[in-house]
Amino acid sequence: MNTEPEVAFGARAAKYGALADPARLRIVDLLTLGDLSPTELRAELGMPSNLLSHHLRALEAAGLATSHRSEADKRRSYFRLAAGAFDGLEPGAERAARRVLFVGSRNSARSQLAAALWQRASSIPSTSAGTHPANDIAPRAVDIARRHGLDLTDREPRHLDQVVGGEDFVVTVCDTAHEKLPDLGDIHWSVTDPLWLDTEDAFENAFADISRRINVLAPLLRAA
């Protein structure tokens, strides 16, 4: 007997069961667009740490959320929606944006790739900037973009102060930028910095992560 349908049905039922709790549904709403640490979730929800931990464990068990350590502060973890978390479910709420600004530290890889990917996914304008911009875009970022049909050759790293506007929808894609400027972004994506390893696989993984997140976010934003 083929049990594949029963397994898939059970996994979907587990997600609905986890989401039936109002507190867990609220946590998922908060994670729909970006990553949050338990400290940030506690501040947003006003929930005791032991109760929050219980709900986060339940969401992880249901395949709705995952966590990983911050690259900046190893004592901090970030929770994100799991890949395929909303298979068969409808995510999030619509938001308005005049322009999407992707922010990293050096503005040499993740933020540049995100801005280029966004232009392919949405009619809403996008740009990128860094808190401490590098002199040039990382060569492997240019290579991975070209491999996926994107062109970064005419772009250059820019400082956040030169770019940010009051009506921007800001997405931080770097843990360091997010933690140094916690009030900066509308949402945060804790994307692993491919420059730590500086390999093709690292850049491919970062590109895939950003691409998946943009495919989730783009339908949820409308032009302001």
Predicted local confidence at residue 18, as pLDDT = 94
The answer to whether 68 and 38 have CB atoms below 8 angstroms apart is no
Q: Is 216 exposed, middle or buried (0-12, 13-18, 19+ CB in 10 A)?
A: middle
* Predicted TM-score (pTM) of this structure: 0.77
Question: Where are the extended beta strands (E) located within the chain?
Answer: 65-69, 77-81, 95-97, 99-104, 126-130, 168-172, 187-188, 221-223
pLDDT band at 2 (very low <50, low <70, confident <90, very high): very low
For the chain, give the longest Cα–Cα distance.
Answer: 63
Q: How far is CA 100 from CA 58, 61, 116, in A?
A: 33, 33, 11
Is residue 31 classed as helix, strand or coil in its secondary structure?
A: helix
pLDDT at residue 10 is higher than 90: no
- The 10s digit of each residue's pLDDT in 123-163 is 999 999 999 999 999 999 999 999 999 999 989 999 999 99
- The 10s digit of each residue's pLDDT in 154-177 is 899 999 999 999 999 999 999 999
Predicted local confidence at residue 125, as pLDDT = 97
Cβ count within 10 A of residue 223: 11
Stretch 201-213: mean pLDDT: 98
pLDDT at residue 209 is higher than 50: yes
- The 10s digit of each residue's pLDDT in 33-87 is 899 999 999 999 999 999 999 999 999 999 999 999 999 999 999 999 998 888 7
CA distance 129 to 159: 5
pLDDT band at 88 (very low <50, low <70, confident <90, very high): low
Is residue 84 classed as helix, strand or coil in its secondary structure?
A: coil
Stretch 212-223: mean pLDDT: 92
Predicted local confidence at residue 128, as pLDDT = 98
CA distance 139 to 130: 17
Q: What percent of the chain lies above the pLDDT cut of 90?
A: 79
pLDDT at residue 19 is higher than 50: yes
Give the number of residues written for the chain: 224
- The 10s digit of each residue's pLDDT in 91-107 is 556 788 999 999 999 99
Rounding to the nearest 10 degrees, give the CA dihedral for residues 8, 10, 14, 17.
Answer: 120
Q: What share of the chain is helix, strand, coil (3-state, %, to 5)?
A: 45, 15, 40
pLDDT band at 185 (very low <50, low <70, confident <90, very high): confident
Q: Which domains does the chain have, with CATH numbers?
A: 4-81 (1.10.10.10), 95-223 (3.40.50.2300)
